[in-house]
Chain A
Amino acid sequence: MEKGIMNRFLRGCGNILLGIVSFLIPVIGIVRIAKRPRMGIGAKIITSIVFMIFWVYAVSLIYAMGWAFMNSLKGNLEFFEDMMSPPKRWLFSNYIKAFSLIEFDGVNFIAMFINSIWFALGSAILSTLSHAVTGYIFAKYNFFGKRVFFNFVIFTIALPVVGTLPSLYQIVNSLGLNDSPLFLITALGGFGSNFLITYAFFKSMDRTYMEAARIDGASHSSIFWRIMLPQAAPMLFSIGLLSFIGQWNNYETPLLMLSKMPTLATGLYQFSDKMIFAVGDASQTVYFAGILLASLPVVLLVIAFHEKIMENVSTGGIKG
């Protein structure tokens, strides 16, 4: 009985707080817009409408995340009885359970996490390095056939090729790269769209550093690894970070090519499929805990580096 009163009290407090925040934010925003000098009344009205659009969108996202978090702390039965109320008991243990209960074909959550790490990190590092190499060589060296190859690469980047998945799938299988960390070989291509970014970056770099280092007796590889690459580090880090996030969230490629080594994205998908028919402990609420845990690394990365991402991603890609 006491728990019921407490729960209603918490729910009431939550609603009041939500009401105040929901009311205050648009009011403060619109007042600030109204006070802007050198702005016509029409412009103020349009800006206020856009502000409200942002606010409604923000509420929908924050509510969705909060709702998922709230339900990740419930028991399964409680979730199906009432999806809207706060948990009667805050079952943070669901987050511990996620590590043991979420599994597919004998691969548990931790193994999926490890698969996600090597797949996303390995792909990001290899792809970024390959693009750094190709961009640098094409920007700073002259060699036979360079112009023709360069133009051809640009053509392939611009060419809208559709549906190469069947062919890629067959080639990956025939090379024995599927269901193996060797699949990372496919990330070694240095002529994707990031080539344009690394090429433009190295092209804009002064040759003086290279020439001074050559006079001092540095080898070509020392110049690349010790002088040029460190200068490109911020730009490469941004490319790598976005690539890591993309691969962490990628579910289609690992589902086809790494079916026996599920990453978090594919493992959780397969677990959710299985969960529909599951009984007992494999609950929806533990699944919610699992998807929030899987989101945590990318959210933390973006929190830590969002300034860098926002600053570095500009027209045509990423600047240094």
Chain B
Amino acid sequence: MQMKKHYLNEKRRSNIFVFLMLLIPVVHFIIFWFGVNFNSLRLAFTSIDLTSGTTSFSLDHFKTLGNLFKTGEIRMALVNTLLTWALNMFLVPWALFLSYFLYKKIPLGGMWKTLLFLPSILPAIAMTSIFRYMIEPDGPVGQLIHALTGEDISNLLAFNTTAKWTVLAYIFWTNFGGQFILFSGAMAKIPKGMLEAANLDGAGLGSEFFKVVLPLCWPTTSMILILNISTLFTASGPLLLLTKGMGETRTLSYWIFEHVQGSTTLGLPAALGIACTLVLFPIVMIAKWLLNKVYADVEF
């Protein structure tokens, strides 16, 4: 009896503790996950009658989006988003490649690691400001191009023909090492004996990379690829700081940001978000399924 009472008291104490500890995170989750997503749906499927102020269920925002796609505004943003995303996807194997050489103890590896990490910790406002001035006609890049070709460059971020590619160049410059830390972490776990055995069997750099390192790092690689695929419609450079969307550089996420900042019609960007989520969800699931099939999970 005494034991049972003690057990019940203990159980009650434990439940009270769990309740109190989870209270704030759960309330937060209800407001900022359920609430936010429910409100997104409400904004996307509601239209307001400006004369009477009444709201009603409507697909008007989706129709407007369709029209904006036809006129080119959304289509251009989509193309820019996909270009940025493609560059980000390219940077994943690129970072894996660089990480492999860091793992192989390339000379000055510590310095390269620090420098690869630097752009990801420096404020974007600092990096973009430096970049903007450096590519001015009188800046170092302008002077370098002048010295090499004899041509003066114009303001690369101001014109439709060059702005988009300049933004992509900035993304490449600042994400050069990309996810190298995650790859380095994965490679550090590879048992040295495995590589030594491969080398004794006569494996060169290429065989070692493709037949030993890549399969063993595949869980990390596929995770990073899936994370990148899930940014298919949100990929963007720091457009606010570089171009403010001028020079035909707008991406979908910047388009949403602009509409929120303008606070004119929140329903329209919310509808775009819903449409993108509906398209993206199956893509991510299929990609996850496919990537899991490439290499079997390896325990080591």
Chain A interfacial positions (CB closer than 8 Å to B)? 25, 28-29, 32-33, 38, 40, 42-43, 46-47, 50-51, 53-54, 57-58, 60-65, 67-68, 71, 80, 82-84, 130, 133-134, 136-137, 141, 143, 153, 156, 158-171, 175, 185-186, 188-191, 219-221, 224, 245, 248-249, 251-252, 255-256, 264-265, 268-269, 272, 284, 287-288, 291-292, 294-295, 298-299, 302, 306, 309-310, 313-316
Contact = CB atoms under 8 A, between A and B. Distances in A.
Nearest to A131: B25
Contact of A166 (B111, B117, B188, B266): B266
24 contacts: A42-B205, A43-B205, A58-B111, A60-B173, A61-B118, A133-B22, A160-B277, A162-B280, A164-B37, A166-B256, A170-B43, A170-B266, A171-B32, A171-B35, A188-B24, A219-B17, A249-B124, A251-B240, A272-B129, A292-B126, A294-B125, A299-B122, A302-B121, A314-B182
B13 A220 contact: yes
Given A57-B115, A130-B28, A251 B15 contact: no
B241 interface: yes
A50 B172 CA distance: 17
B32 A190 contact: no
Contact of A313 (B40, B125, B182, B280): B182
B107 A287 contact: no
A157 B33 CA distance: 11
B95 to A, nearest CB: 12
Nearest to B221: A315
A49 B35 CA distance: 53
A38 B200 CA distance: 10
A84 B140 contact: yes
A287 B85 CA distance: 32
Contacts of B182: 313-315
Contact of A163 (B35, B188, B232, B277): B277
Q: Which of A43, A61, A134, A185 has the most CB of B within 10 A?
A: A61
A134 B124 contact: no
Interface residues of B, number: 95
A25 B115 CA distance: 15
Given A58-B111, A163-B276, A165-B260, A189 B240 contact: no
Contacts of B21: 133, 136-137, 224
A190 B25 contact: yes
Interface stretch (B69-77, B131-139, B149-157, B158-166): B131-139
A161 B277 contact: yes
A171 B140 contact: no
A314 B130 contact: no
Contacts of A302: 117-118, 121
A162 B111 contact: no
B293 interface: no
Given A46-B205, A57-B115, A141 B220 contact: no
A189 B39 contact: no
> Which A-B residue pairs are the 9 nearest by beta carbons?
A163-B273, A314-B185, A190-B25, A160-B230, A220-B17, A162-B276, A166-B266, A167-B40, A167-B39
Nearest to B219: A315
B119 A191 contact: no
B57 to A, nearest CB: 17
B108 A25 contact: yes
B238 to A, nearest CB: 8
B22 A134 contact: yes
B217 to A, nearest CB: 8
A249 B267 CA distance: 29
Given A291-B129, A291-B130, A170 B39 contact: yes
A64 B130 contact: yes
A299 B121 contact: yes
B270 interface: yes
Contacts of B108: 25, 29, 51, 54
A251 B112 contact: no
Nearest to B272: A163
Contacts of A294: 123, 125-126
B223 interface: yes
Contacts of A185: 28
B264 to A, nearest CB: 11
Interface in B200-228: 204-205, 219-220, 223
A255 B262 CA distance: 12
B204 A40 contact: yes
A38 B31 CA distance: 60
B123 A298 contact: yes
Nearest to B224: A315
Q: Which of B28, B35, B113 has the most CB of A within 10 A?
A: B28
Given A133-B25, A256-B261, A166 B131 contact: no
A160 B284 contact: yes
Nearest to A40: B204
B123 A249 contact: yes
Contact of A47 (B101, B131, B234, B269): B101
B246 interface: no
Nearest to A61: B115
B63 interface: no
Interface string B160-192: 000000000000010010000110111011000
B14 interface: yes
Given A61-B115, A167-B40, A43 B204 contact: yes
A313 B205 contact: no
Given A51-B106, A67-B140, A170-B266, A252 B37 contact: no
B3 to A, nearest CB: 15
A44 to B, nearest CB: 9
